[in-house]
Amino acid sequence: MSTSIKLSEDAKRTLEKLQARITLATGAKIPQQRLLDTIIRLSADNIDQILEATTQARPLTMSQLEALLATPADWGTETREEEIDQTLYGRRATAEDTRP
């Protein structure tokens, strides 16, 4: 059974380069379908690396950041500036810490 999948242009180029390198190394052209099957099997054995590569934190977009900042939450406690400094810097803030 065969299913079509869409690849980004970058992924397609990478797959083609990998296919070319294998062809040069072995002297035989491996079909992309077979290459992808092999990659998937090998990836299943190395799930930790796949998780690490696909779950890395990504920066928020400007609209996501603005939405987050527009909805502050009251946690019912007051926080002193000194406590914030201690959390951020591990000590009380100095003038150098607050320089732009």
- Series of mean pLDDT values for 10-residue runs along the chain (100 residues): 87 95 94 93 88 79 90 82 82 66
- How far apart (Å, rounded) are the C-alpha atoms in residues 3 and 36? 12
Compute CA 90 distance to the chain's CA centroid, rounded to the nearest angstrom: 28
pLDDT given at position 98: 62
Residue 18, classed as helix, strand or coil, is helix
pLDDT given at position 78: 85
